Chain A
Amino acid sequence: NAGVTQTPKFRILKIGQSMTLQCTQDMNHNYMYWYRQDPGMGLKLIYYSVGAGITDKGEVPNGYNVSRSTTEDFPLRLELAAPSQTSVYFCASIDRDRGLGYTFGSGTRLTVV
């Protein structure tokens, strides 16, 4: 099992550009999450999904969109990048029936200039 895989690892965007952060898990987990982590801060929930076709907003959803067309994939879309979206983005997943210890990806470091 590869676990949770995020791509790319690093990206620099110009203001107003758009991009998609990819997240894939091969553990057949029901629940998937996107968090952002600003320097010296904890993680804040952007969006989450409890299964294919179902997504919900987290604490800081503005400026982002997600989709969950399959169990494995949960991409995060930035439509009009802003400097405030400079952060490290983590994708995570859990098996609903096996507990709450998230498995995290290794993160995507995004800089908007």
Chain B
Amino acid sequence: GESVGLHLPTLSVQEGDNSIINCAYSNSASDYFIWYKQESGKGPQFIIDIRSNMDKRQGQRVTVLLNKTVKHLSLQIAATQPGDSAVYFCAEKLAGGGNKLTFGTGTQLKVEL
């Protein structure tokens, strides 16, 4: 079946460096994608989203890039801080009603001081 997956299960970066978290998706009909951050013991928190008619969207210190040709999504975090340490999930909106999302398995981001 269709699925969303992540390339790297764990990413370690130095504080102040930029982080890039990648995600591959297989459902070419998906038209909406979201990145979530999940800290230990908490529920996922919305970070940024992008629609399929866009290639790039920027937020505060975060940028999401969408490459529909290769079905690839990435989250860039600028000047990574210790508070960015968490698991990051990408999610895609499924076709049909109900605004249902399919989540990837997640990438653990570790920020080293």
Bind each other: yes
Which residues of A are at the interface with B, using a C-beta cutoff of 8 A? Answer: 4, 31, 33, 35, 40-45, 48, 50, 56, 58, 90, 92, 94, 96, 99-107
Q: Nearest-CB distance from A101 to chain B (Å)?
A: 4
B71 contacts A by Cβ under 8 Å: no
CB atoms of A31 and B45 under 8 A apart: no
**Chain A residue with minimal CB distance to B46?**
A101
Inside 8 A of A102's CB, which chain B residues have their CB?
Answer: 34, 44, 46, 101
How far is A96 from B100 in the complex, measured between Cα atoms in Å? 11
Number of interface residues of B (CB under 8 A): 22
Decide if A100 touches B93 in the complex (CB within 8 Å): yes
Q: What residues on B are CB-neighbors of A48 within 8 Å?
A: 98, 100
Q: Quick check: A106 and B42 within 8 Å, CB to CB?
A: yes
B44 x A31 contact (CB < 8 A): no
Contacts known (A101-B46, A101-B49, A104-B43); A42 close to B104, Cβ less than 8 A? yes
Q: Which of A41, A100, A105 contacts B101 (CB 8 A)?
A: A100
B-to-A contact residues, CB < 8 Å? 4, 32, 34, 41-46, 49, 89, 93, 97-106
Residues of chain A within 8 A of B44, CB atoms compared? 43, 90, 102, 104
Q: Is the interface of A mostly helix, strand, loop or mixed?
A: strand
Which A residues lie within 8 Å of B46 (CB)?
A: 101-103
Residues from chain A with Cβ under 8 Å of B43 in the complex: 4, 90, 92, 104-107
Looking at the assembled complex, report how far the CB atom of B30 sits from the nearest CB atom of chain A, in whole angstroms: 12
Least CB distance, B13 to chain A, in whole angstroms: 20
Please, how many angstroms separate the alpha-carbon atoms of A43 and B4 in the complex? 11
